[in-house]
Chains A and B, each alone.
Chain A
Amino acid sequence: MHKLLTDNPGQKMLMLGNEAIARGAIEAGVAFTASYPGTPSSEISLNFFQMSKESDLYFEYSINEKVSVEVSAAAANCGVRSMCVMKHVGMNVAADALLTLAYIGVTGGMVILTADDPFMFSSQNEQDNRYYGKLAGLPVLEPSSVAEAKEMTKQAFELSEALGEPVILRTTTRINHSTGVVELGEITERKTKGDFTKDPMRCVTVPAVSRGLHVKLLANLDKAEEIACTSPLNKVDGSGSLGVIVNGVSYSYVKDGLKDLGATDKVKILRIGFSNPLPKALVLDFIKGCDKVLVVEEGEPFMEEAVKAVAQENGLTLPICGKGEHLFSRLYEFDPKMVRNVMASYFELAPVPSQSVDTSNVPEIPNRPPNLCAGCSHRATFYAVKQATQGMDVMFPSDIGCYTLGFMPPLATGDFVLCMGASTSTSAGFSTVTDKKVISFVGDSTFFHSGIMGLMNAVFNNHNFTLVILDNRITGMTGHQPNPGVDMDEMGFEGYNSIDIEGLVKAAGVKHVSVVRPYNLKKSIAAIKEAVEFEGVSVVIAKEKCTLYAKSLKQLTGKKFQVNPEKCKNHRDCIDTIACPAFTTEGGRVRINEDMCAGCAICAQICPENAILPVKK
């Protein structure tokens, strides 16, 4: 049985934050779940997916985040508890649905999880999604620990039903990817079927209806604020005339910091867990008892500005600070020492002396950037494209996925990366206003997610570029999730269909479509040359399974390769042009690490001396 389905209340379990959130939803009786995978939220979806295979929980990998919100919104409007899960930028994709769903509301609890990524460990920006709560007029809950993430997920469902609208559960990477001890609670029975009661004056958002719904939304916000003011999710710790107002993971840094500074009796803490709408009465009560307040929040001054507004409205003039010089930054993530030091300086407490070792005489360590895996077919495709376009003035818009890593030298096949699906649409703009030949890259999952729209737009508007669809038969970057092109039978799952990318592209009106097997360099280069010469939109589908995925399916059959030292003349074309991590140098000579070699044979096709040969066993 899946460990998160364990029905043993009181048992303690070590859980990843994302597991705790999935467990919280199960305890709340969630019955309908949907997601497009995105780090740092991916393991929540993965656990739902796994549990859906051994219970009556419904889960789907939706084609994108907007669709995941829409399918869930429908279920939640039939009284079924629903949840959708996305990374922070996924909320941008879902925003169109979200902002009007706030007007319609729900009849069953609906929780939308957004996982923000301060420091951008695996993201293209570090937007602060608390503003979506403000923008949509929806409640936002923010846990401070792994154990609390489970509890808060349950409370989010209760709150959603109390208010009749979706609730945003906002985490950051350090909640999603932290691990802690969690105590299991009771599992509420899932109600998997509901019914839709026709109510056009609530559910059909024509202007005449929406004007009334906006009134209801604002009234709901007032109600939410009343709840927030007495909610145990917002709590005051400690005592003193100095005050800290803090949310999320920073709460643990504040608590540890005050203990280290010996200041737990001087500084009291208002921990905000229900952060939108801000509980103004509670904040006022807290700051009234303070001489000085520090707002500790990663990201934007979301609470700080609201707290200052509360002070202003009530004629309070005490110092309230958060972001600024010698205070906190809006950039990146916080850490315990940083929070402790800012508290010490702002509250004029004796700081804890730094004990860091002196690293000034440590030599520079060579970088270890992430790299495409040994045997990755994207590397072969990138090489083939470079060969096919030698001497041409080309540019390469790319997209979001493992293949974004191709931007690094020596492959250097990524010149512009914006957001999911933008490769196809930015290509249209670049090819219209420059004389460069535009060749763009998109992965199979990203193509389905949103790339297809840009391609159809390009066909209709008669643009001129070549799109290379890197079809590795799976969603690679986030850990091998299905997408609409995946063969689910092969993964061992029944009851799905599969969409053929070639047929889809042709149906969209692309006149020049070719399919290549990228490990065959000669044929791939020839097909890419033809596509590039075509006037108009052309598509090359480079079809080869992700090496790691193939390995997991036990389909990796290629022989391992080695360098024959007698034949090798040390041209180094292999190492210099494809940057495969299986290559090393020993005494100035090239070697292949057999443990890493996946047998793709790309290097063997490149070597001018034919010195790279299969290992004879």
Chain B
Amino acid sequence: MNDTGHARFQKNGHSLRHNLFSTQGDTHMDTKRLIIVAVGGQGNLLASRVLGEAALLQGIPVHMSEIHGMAQRGGVVESSIVFGDAESTIISDGEADVFVSFEPSEALRALGRCKEETVTITNLSPLPPFTVAIGKGVYPEIDKVTELLANKTRRLIAFDAVKLAEEAGNVLSVNMVLLGALIETGVLPISADAIREAISTKTKKAFVDVNLKAFELGFAEAAKH
């Protein structure tokens, strides 16, 4: 966060605690690249939106891209979010610093986006594609998924996010659970407070409490891995 940006931001009438504008360097900011993959309907676009709003709150440059034309028809939905000093909105293969998958088989499908240094987070609750039901493919064993992810990337955080979402009060809060785990890794320059603020102001009022709880559960879960 540079000083001029900070001043401009405050002038615009936002009242944010100073601790949101935390530890960023004065002139140079490392670039961090995040890929999120999910199945249409799992809510990854809202997760991206919350991350983007949190970055805006902290004054961190953010560029995002998503492909969502088929989101409601059960296809794969991918978001890329680039934080810091870069201008591209998409992320090439092998260049994600952190990778979040909302579904275990999709984590393997998108593994090429990762490098050895990538921190990987995946939900372990499977959503088999319809092609499996009609015998056009075999769903991978979950143990095999976690073994491959753990061997190929620096740190793996794998858990049943659906279970935690249910515990938070709504199965649809899987996105906030995974967001909690993502922030716990500390790879991104985004603070938990900024995320809480963004959840409180940018998600539907009726779901704020559940979303916040889901975020905390995901954050606590990741700390165990």
Chain A residues within 8 Å of B, Cβ to Cβ:
8, 10-14, 39-40, 121-122, 145-146, 173-174, 177-181, 249, 251-253, 255-256, 335-338, 354-359, 361-373, 402, 405, 410, 548, 575-576, 579, 581, 583-585
A354 contacts across to B, CB distance below 8 A = 94
Binds A, one of B73-81, B183-191, B209-217: B73-81
B window 127-184: CB within 8 A of A = 128-134, 136-140, 144, 148, 152-153
Nearest chain B CB to A86's CB is how many angstroms away?
A: 16
Residue B49 CB within 8 A of the other chain: yes
Known A-B contacts A365-B108, A365-B109; the reply to A575 vs B133 at CB < 8 A is: yes
Q: Is B67 an interface residue (CB 8 A)?
A: yes
With A366-B137, A366-B139 as known contacts, state yes or no: A256 contacts B88, CB within 8 Å: yes
Indicate which residue in B9, B64, B72, B116 contacts A355 across the interface (CB closer than 8 Å): B116
Knowing A174-B65, A179-B66, the reply to whether A371 touches B138 (Cβ < 8 A) is no
Contact A252 B89 (CB under 8 A): yes
B115 within 8 A of A: yes
| Contact call B94/A14, Cβ cutoff below 8 A | no
State which size class the interface on B falls in.
Answer: 35 or more
Roughly how many angstroms separate A368 CA and B133 CA in the complex, as a whole number? Answer: 11
Q: Is B30 an interface residue (CB 8 A)?
A: no
Cα–Cα, bound, A373→B75 (Å): 11
A-B contacts, 13 listed (Cβ < 8 Å) = A10-B12, A177-B66, A335-B91, A336-B91, A354-B94, A356-B112, A359-B152, A368-B131, A370-B73, A371-B74, A579-B134, A583-B130, A584-B133
A366-B94 in contact given A402-B73, A548-B72 (Cβ < 8 Å) = no
Interface presence of B63 (CB below 8 A): yes
Interface pairs A-B: 5 shortest CB-CB: A366-B137, A356-B94, A337-B92, A252-B87, A355-B115
Asked whether B74 lies within 8 Å of A14 as measured between CB atoms, the reply is no
Contacts of A252 in B (CB 8 A): 63, 86-89
Q: At the interface, is chain A mostly helix, strand, loop or mixed?
A: loop
Cα-based distance from A356 to B132 in the complex (angstroms) = 29
Residues of A within 8 A of B62 (CB): 14, 179-181
A255 CA to B82 CA, complexed, in Å = 14
Q: Is the CB of B86 within 8 A of A366?
A: no
Tell me which residues across on chain A come within 8 A of B90, comparing CB atoms. Answer: 174, 335-336
B25 within 8 A of A: no
Assess the B134–A357 pair: CB atoms within 8 A.
no
B69 lies within 8 A of A585 (CB): no
Asked whether any CB of chain A lies closer than 8 Å to the CB of B193, the reply is no
B94 and A122 contacting across the interface, CB-CB below 8 Å? no
Q: Contact: A370 with B140, CB < 8 Å? A: no
The closest CB in chain B to the CB of A40 belongs to B69
User: What distance in Å separates the Cβ of B103 from its nearest Cβ neighbour in chain A?
Assistant: 9
Tell me the B8-63 residues at the A interface (CB within 8 Å). 8-9, 11-13, 39-40, 48-49, 52-53, 56, 61-63
Compute how far the CA of A365 lies from the CA of B152 in the bound complex, rounded to whole angstroms. 17
Closest chain B residue to A410, Cβ basis? B134
With A and B bound together, what is the CA distance between A152 and B95 in angstroms? 31
Q: A368-B39, A579-B130, A585-B132 are in contact. Are A362 and B95 (CB under 8 A)?
A: no
A253 → chain B closest CB, angstroms: 5
Once the chains are docked, how many angstroms separate the CA of A121 from the CA of B137?
A: 24
A residues near B65, Cβ cutoff 8 Å: 174, 177-179
Q: A181, A361, A579 — which one has the most chain B CB atoms within 10 A of its CB?
A: A181
CB-CB under 8 A from A181, the residues of chain B are 56, 61-62
On whether the beta carbons of A357 and B111 are closer than 8 Å, the reply is: yes
